[in-house]
Every structure is written in structure tokens, then in C-alpha cells.
Amino acid sequence: MNKPERLRAADFAYISIREGLSAGRWPPGSHLRETELAAELKISRTPIREALRKLASEQLVQFEPHLGARVPGWSHQDMEEIFALRVELESFAAGQAALNAKPAQVDELRSLATAIEKAAFGGDAPDNVKISELNNRFHRLIVLASGNRRLNSLVATIIDIPLVVRTFARFDKTAMARSVGHHFDLVEAIAGGNADWAVAVMRAHIHAGRQVMLGTDAGELLGRRH
Amino acid sequence: MNKPERLRAADFAYISIREGLSAGRWPPGSHLRETELAAELKISRTPIREALRKLASEQLVQFEPHLGARVPGWSHQDMEEIFALRVELESFAAGQAALNAKPAQVDELRSLATAIEKAAFGGDAPDNVKISELNNRFHRLIVLASGNRRLNSLVATIIDIPLVVRTFARFDKTAMARSVGHHFDLVEAIAGGNADWAVAVMRAHIHAGRQVMLGTDAGELLGRRH
DNA sequence: TGGTTCTATGATGTATACAACGCCACGTTC
DNA sequence: GAACGTGGCGTTGTATACATCATAGAACCA
């Protein structure tokens, strides 16, 4: 792996380790040893440490004093918590995006939605890796278009984790079709400046994703009154 | 059976620098030099760096490559963004707390609310520092009682920042009285398991705080200069 | 034999030396 | 005089040596 010239070693390490985590390279519970990573990336332990601490602040690895970094496993409860937060934060972001998004951002959202549709239904088999990547960009762009800069760093943790767990392998054809439909609904709501619509679609969209991931069992969470 | 729990130098540095930030020791725009901090705390630059990177991940300082850490100033827009996020996240937390809080936590919330009332109206002059600290614990405990562990790390950034800016100096007697009232409303809603009520009170509570801090017009800034 | 202590080992935590880079002042050139 | 290049200086970025801690397993004792 070649390291680009202008990148700091610590950033290079961060990107590399994060990619490894996304690719599921280390099973949950693995011990990420600084020395090993340093040898592999051909840099010293110092930037490795910095990268691991940053990943820990995003909860992508877990730290214990003198024990170092471990790859966490995602329990059912973890995923429930993450989806609950995504429902709140991303729906808020969608509503704000409807009020604040610039035309260029709306255009980009539309083309991303189209690209996701193509990756899902254009060829013979859906390209799940590409769908994940495009979907990620779509959701991140909505957060960006919200205009709330701090929201960006908050969702950095929670948007990417379902990617790690390879969400889209679980989508069947009809679930994927509806998900694609939500994306176009979102584009239309945001383009039209209809915040309430955007909020509602995003809430529904993420609940649907949670359903595919986790099913109905143990599903009385989320503070819905009855 | 309690372990001695020796503090790591990096954690010591983190706590120290964070307290300095809370105390307004460095004006916005200040350059936090690693060497200076290391000399002052009598440790080496390595744990200082770790502490600064952690503070940067919480947006309490800003980093630029090869330029180091700077103390950010809080613009009006920053505060608007933070309050908008608090409205969403803390109201969600309150609703979840109504469903999940343990009796001991409810008791502690009640005693904190009482203590805040006493600090505000018990003596001759309100003790703003104590109020801030108790208020902080109250809000953090609600987040904790929500049962969503990830929510904790998310709000770590945004709950503490208004503390830095010394919110409560701006509360007059009637605003403080209403704020104290909100706290008891919250305790009652959570104790009764009424999530909808808890959500509504918390939303209102934070909107009220925003009003005191920022007012209705986008006029005034709250930095420390001039 | 079972349990405890001790020691070896390898990890993380910290200190420090060195390299790379940005800023600024000075000087040169046009 | 202004624009631009250049070198010194101080800072951050990285490498590496050393200190400290946790754990496994041998050694030892009851």
C-alpha cells in the first residue's frame, strides 16, 4: 500500500485501519497491536497510536488502559441504540436540509439516488459494496446539506457502523426497491423545501432499515407511546 | 477490592486542559502549544498531544496540520447549532429515560433538582458556578438513565459547551425560577414513565435556555473579546 | 494435587531526540 | 518601492528508547 506524499502518517494510519475494520479484516474481539500495525504500515507506533485513539473516540475500537485496542462486537442492543440515534439525528438533518440545501446539493442527491438505483437494479446482480458506498455518500450529503456543521462529526460514528456490518447483503429485492423509493422521496421533499415531509420520510427510511437488520423481536424500544 | 486506579498522564492532561478551557483561561484564538502545556503539567509532550487530540474530537479545540491546537471562539451560529442538537438529543434522552430509568436514578434526579433550587434561591445570591455544575450533572444523568450508552459520548461535546460560556450568569430571577420548575416537571414525567411528557418538557426547557442565551434576534455575539 | 507466588515476556505508556513544515523577517532584484 | 525568494527559528510530526503494567505459566509450598 503506497502512502501518498502529503498525507500525515497518522491520517494514513487512520484511513488504513478504518478500511480494515470496514472490510471485516479483524474479527470482533481481536487485539490490534500497535507494533504489528506499525510494522505493516511501515511507520512508527506514534501515528498508529493517534489513529487508534481517534477510532476509539468514534467507538470503532475499544480501549482499556494498558491493554490496548480491541475490535468491538456489535450486539443486538448496540444496533438498536445506533438505529434509535440515527432515527433522531438523520431525520433532523433531513428536515434542516429541506430548509437549507443548496441547489447543487439537491442535484447531487438526485444523481446519487439514481446511481444507487442503477447499482441495485441496473445489472444482473446488485453490487452491494457499491450500494453501501453510494448510500453512505447519500446520507452524509444530507447531513452536510443540513447546514449544521456539528451534526457532521456527531453522525460520523453512527452512520458508518451499519456499513461495517454489511447491511445491504440482507436486503431482498422488494426491500431494496422500497429503499430506493425512499431516496427519491427524500430528494423530492428536500428539493421542495418541505421539512416535515423530509423528516417523516427519513424516520420511515431508517426504521425500515432497522427492520431489515434486526427484525421485530425486542422491538418495543424507541419511545413510542401506545 | 478497589483498585488504586492510578491516573494516566494523558488523562491527567485531558482533565487539566479541559478545566482550563471551562474556566476561560485561554481567550478564543489562543494557540495551545504542546511544549508550554508539557512544562506546566510536568509531563512530556506525548500525553499532551493525546489529550489535545481527544479535545479536538470533541470540538473543544481546533486542529490544523502543523499549526497545532487553537481555542475556538463560539459564534452565534455555533450556539444555534448546538442548541438545535441539544433539543433533539436531550429530548430523546428524556423520553427514553422515562421508559428506562431505574428508581435510584429517579431519586438522584429529584435530589439534584432540589439542590439546584437551593443553590438558586436558598441563600442571598445565586451561586452560578454551583448551579452550572449541578445542572450539568442533572442533564448528564438523564442521558445516562436513557439507557442508550452511545448517546452519552455523543452529547459529551454539546452539553458542556454552554457551561464554558457561562450560561447561568444570564438567567434573571424569573427565568431561573421557570428553569427550576422544568427540572421538577422532568423528574415527575420520568418518574411516572410518561415519555411523551418528558420529551415535551425537555424540548421546552432547552428552547427556553436558548432564548436566554441567544434571544430572538440574531444580533449579539457572546465571545469574550472587547 | 490444588492453589499461590514469582518470574519472564510482551504489550502499552511516557520521555526524548530528530525530521519536516509553516511563519516571518530580511535582503535581493526588478 | 514593491514583489519575490531565501534562510532562520519555532512549532508540530515522527521515530525510538525506556518505564510501567498485565498476563501466562513455571516454581513452590501446604
- Verify that B102 and B199 share a domain, yes or no: yes
Task: Report yes or no on A175 lying in a domain.
Answer: yes
Residues of A within 8 A of B82 (CB-CB) are 150
Residue B4 has pLDDT above 70, yes or no: no
Residues of B within 8 A of A223 (CB-CB) are 92, 95-96, 98-99, 195, 199
Provide CB contacts within 8 A for A155, sequence distance 6+.
A86, A89, A90, A93, A140, A143
Three-state DSSP at B141 gives: helix
The pLDDT score that the predictor gives to residue B220 is 43
- Verify that A33 and A91 share a domain, yes or no: no
Name the average pLDDT for chain B. 88
**pLDDT confidence tier of residue B226, bands split at 50, 70 and 90:** very low
User: What is the residue range of B105's domain?
Assistant: 76-214
- Residue A8 contacts strand C, CB under 7 A: no
Give CA torsion, residues B144, B145, B151, B153, to 10 deg.
0
Place of cell 478504518: A18
Question: CA-based Rg of chain B, rounded to a whole angstrom?
Answer: 19
Helices (H), ranges, chain A: 9-22, 34-41, 45-57, 76-100, 103-121, 128-145, 149-164, 173-191, 195-214
Lookup: cell for B128 = 452560578
Residue A92 has pLDDT above 90, yes or no: yes
Residue that finishes a domain, picked among B34, B53, B70: B70
Which nucleotide has its C1' atom closest to residue B53's CA? Answer: D12
Mean pLDDT along residues B111-125 = 90
Name the average pLDDT for chain A. 88
- Verify that B81 and B59 share a domain, yes or no: no
- Verify that A66 and A80 share a domain, yes or no: no
Task: Report yes or no on B1 lying in a domain.
Answer: no
- Verify that A57 and A88 share a domain, yes or no: no
CA B204 to CA B86: how far, in whole Å? 11
Task: Report yes or no on B224 lying in a domain.
Answer: no
Q: Are B96 and B186 in contact (CB under 8 A)?
A: no
- Verify that A55 and A103 share a domain, yes or no: no
**pLDDT confidence tier of residue A165, bands split at 50, 70 and 90:** low
- Verify that B106 and B59 share a domain, yes or no: no
CA A88 to CA A96: how far, in whole Å? 12
Mean pLDDT along residues A92-98 = 98
Q: Which of residues 30-59 of B touch strand C (CB under 7 A)?
A: 43-47, 50
Q: How is the beta sheet containing B62-64 ordered, strand by strand? A: B31-32, B68-70, B62-64
Q: Are A53 and A44 in contact (CB under 8 A)?
A: no
Task: Report yes or no on B19 lying in a domain.
Answer: yes
Residue A11 has pLDDT above 70, yes or no: yes
Smallest Cβ–Cβ distance between A82 and the set B46, B58, B150 belongs to B150
The distance of A137 to chain B (nearest Cα, Å) reads 21
CA A54 to CA A49: how far, in whole Å? 9
Task: Report yes or no on B219 lying in a domain.
Answer: no
Residue B171 has pLDDT above 60, yes or no: yes
**pLDDT confidence tier of residue A166, bands split at 50, 70 and 90:** low
Q: Which of A23-32, A189-198, A205-214, B126-135 is predicted with the least confidence, judged by mean pLDDT?
A: B126-135
Residue B222 has pLDDT above 50, yes or no: no
Name the DSSP class of B25: -
Residue that finishes a domain, picked among B30, B52, B70: B70
- Verify that A100 and A206 share a domain, yes or no: yes
CA A147 to CA B77: how far, in whole Å? 10
Q: What is the CATH number of the domain that holds B205?
A: 1.20.120.530
**pLDDT confidence tier of residue B1, bands split at 50, 70 and 90:** very low
**pLDDT tens digits for range B32-90:** 999 999 999 999 999 999 999 999 999 999 999 999 999 998 888 988 999 999 999 99
Higher pLDDT, B164 or A70: A70
- Residue B59 — left, alpha, or beta (φ > 0 → left; ψ -120 to 50 → alpha)? left
β-pair type (B68-70, B31-32): antiparallel
**Kind plus residue range of the DSSP H or E element containing B198:** helix B195-214
Task: Report yes or no on B32 lying in a domain.
Answer: yes
Task: Report yes or no on A219 lying in a domain.
Answer: no
- Verify that B34 and B90 share a domain, yes or no: no
Distance A7 CA to C27 C1' (A): 34
Residue B152 has pLDDT above 60, yes or no: yes
| Residue % of chain A over a pLDDT of 70 | 90
| Residue % of chain A over a pLDDT of 90 | 65
Provide CB contacts within 8 A for B100, sequence distance 6+.
B145, B146, B147
Domain count across chain B: 2
Q: Which of A27-31, A127-131, B83-87 is predicted with the least confidence, judged by mean pLDDT?
A: A127-131
**pLDDT confidence tier of residue B162, bands split at 50, 70 and 90:** low
Question: CA-based Rg of chain A, rounded to a whole angstrom?
Answer: 19
CA A190 to CA A105: how far, in whole Å? 10
- Verify that B90 and B185 share a domain, yes or no: yes
3-state helix, strand, coil in chain B (%, to 5): 70, 5, 25
Look up residue B119 and give its amino acid: A
CA A169 to CA A171: how far, in whole Å? 6
Q: Which of residues 47-66 of A touch strand C (CB under 7 A)?
A: 49, 63, 65-66
Minimal-distance CA residue of chain A relative to B80: A148
- Verify that A136 and A169 share a domain, yes or no: yes
Residue A119 has pLDDT above 70, yes or no: yes
Lookup: cell for A90 = 438523520
CA B78 to CA B120: how far, in whole Å? 28
The pLDDT score that the predictor gives to residue B147 is 96
Q: What is the CATH number of the domain that holds B27?
A: 1.10.10.10
Q: Residue A153: count other Cβ atoms within 10 Å of its Cβ.
A: 16
Residue that finishes a domain, picked among B70, B93, B121: B70
Three-state DSSP at B99 gives: helix
